[in-house]
Amino acid sequence: MNLCQFPRRRYTMGITPIEKLECLSAYLGGPNIYIKRDDLLGLAGGGNKTRKLEFLMADAIAQGADTVITCGAIQSNHCRLTLAAANKEGIACQLVLEQRVPNSYERYASGNNFLYDLLGVEEVHVVEGGIDLMAKMESIADNLRARGRKPYVIPGGGSNAIGSMGYVACAQEMLHQFFEMDLNIGAIVCTSGSAGTHAGVLTGIVGNNAQIPVIGISINRKKETQSKMVYELSEKLAKKLNLKEAPALKDVIVFDDYVGEGYSRVTDDMLESVKLLARKEAILLDPVYTGKTMAGMIDLLRNGYFNGMKNILFLHTGGSVALFAYTGAFFGK
Ligand SMILES: *Cc1c(COP(=O)(O)O)cnc(C)c1O
């Protein structure tokens, strides 16, 4: 797989570490649990969108863009990191924020919200949940074009075939690390949200014929819908990369048992998992994605899903900045 044929910007020095979670593994008493620290990626606060933005921003720059427009939920890590990357590139950034929970947007909220302001967003457009976000972003782009600007629209989560290439690259990076560390990993567990991470890792693993199952924990959609999204994105990626073997639908593993009442809604298991990782490993997870994903991984482990495996890997995709918008839930308020 030759990823060098695609333009790429660099926002992280070197590679992210893989660490053994000694205390957590001993506490849970199953396989050794390793963690890929993509929460330590570059740009303000790090997280998985940094890898996608390396390819997306390179494409925007190649097209002569002077502004990027993207969208997300009101506490969006993706929006924060797109804005951060735009700052590094000296281009403007506008955000469309979707209020999936009615009246939940607060101009002066903490977490990512605060960072939109600190990082100097050009404009925030707050819209009601369920509207066509792509159409909204295109209409903002049209307005900017009419004023002589050159906008570039990035889809939610950066999860198109260009952005998801960042996670094909991550799969290759991990395979190299496993080899160097003499580490035979039985399964990789990651969050499955806008699907770019899950599809990218899976395509990279299948494309390298590595035969490691990639388990996606859904934080929003039902299993069938999510699996289809991951599969379709993997197909696009495989085509772009000219792969002989693309992931099949049966390679897409999704669990939807850990969503709770819905996207970004607090669950007890999420609170427990975030606390557990903080107390056993001093690692900060996040309330919307990695907390629920860790809850899923722990539940699967306790149910014997990983029996017979010596080592498993949790992909930490970042987001801890959002914890500061959820302190009430942790204090039980
Ligand atoms: C966006 C995000 C995810 C989900 O990744 P997708 O590629 O959208 O599936 C997981 N964790 C964090 C912290 C995120 O911000």
**Does the active-site annotation cover 76?**
yes
**Mutational pocket test of ligand 1: of 154, 258, 317, the residue with most ligand atoms within 8 Å of the beta carbon:** 317
Say which DSSP state 305 is in: T
What number of other Cβ atoms are within 10 A of residue 148's Cβ?
7
198 CA: nearest ligand 1 atom? 9
Strand partners, 153: 69
Cα of 146 to ligand 1 centre, how many Å? 33
CB 121 within 8 A of CB 85: no
Q: What is the model's pLDDT at position 104?
A: 85
Nearest CA to ligand 1 atom 4: 193
Q: Which atom of ligand 1 is nearest to the CA of 322?
A: 13
Q: Which of 76, 159, 194, 273 is catalytic?
A: 76
- What pLDDT is recorded for position 67? 98
Residues in the ligand 1 pocket, defined by CB under 6 Å: 47-48, 77-78, 157, 159, 191-198, 286, 289-290, 317-319
Which residue CA neighbors atom 1 of ligand 1 most closely? 157
Strand residue runs (E) in the chain: 18-20, 32-37, 67-73, 92-99, 123-128, 151-153, 187-192, 214-218, 253-255, 311-316
* Nearest atom (ligand 1) to Cα of 195: 9
Q: Two tokens at 6?
A: 């695609």
- Looking at residue 1, what is its pLDDT? 84
Task: Give me ligand 1 centre to Cα 157, in Å.
Answer: 7
Using DSSP, state whether 151 is helix, strand or coil.
Answer: strand
3-state SS of 27-96 is HHCCCEEEEEEHHHCCCCCCCCHHHHHHHHHHHHHHCCCCEEEEEEECCCHHHHHHHHHHHHHCCEEEEE
Position in ligand 1 atom list of the atom nearest CA 47: 13
Distance CA(15)–CA(25), nearest Å, equals 24
| Residue 18: φ, ψ to 5° | -110, 125
What confidence score (pLDDT) does residue 309 get?
98
Q: What is the pLDDT along the chain (333 residues), one digit of tens a residue?
A: 899 999 999 999 999 999 999 999 999 999 999 999 999 999 999 999 999 999 999 999 999 999 999 999 999 999 999 999 999 999 999 999 999 888 889 989 999 999 999 999 999 999 999 999 999 999 999 999 999 999 999 999 999 999 999 999 999 999 999 999 999 999 999 999 999 999 999 999 999 999 999 999 999 999 999 999 999 999 999 999 999 989 999 999 999 999 999 999 999 999 999 999 999 999 999 999 999 999 999 999 999 999 999 999 999 999 999 999 999 999 998
Beta carbons of 39 and 47 less than 8 angstroms apart: yes
SS3 260: coil
Q: Give residue-wise pLDDT tens across range 104-130.
A: 899 899 999 999 999 999 999 999 999
What pLDDT is attached to residue 101?
80
Closest CA to 331 of 269, 323, 283: 323
Per-residue model confidence (pLDDT) at position 333: 82
Residue 100's pLDDT is what? Answer: 81
Cα(195) to ligand 1 centroid in Å equals 8
Q: What is the pLDDT of residues 162-218, one digit of tens each?
A: 999 999 999 999 999 999 999 999 999 999 999 999 999 999 999 999 999 999 999
User: For ligand 1, atom 8, which residue shows the shortest CA distance?
Assistant: 194
| CA 285 to centroid of ligand 1, rounded, Å | 12
Q: In angstroms, what is the span from residue 197 Cα to ligand 1's centroid? A: 7
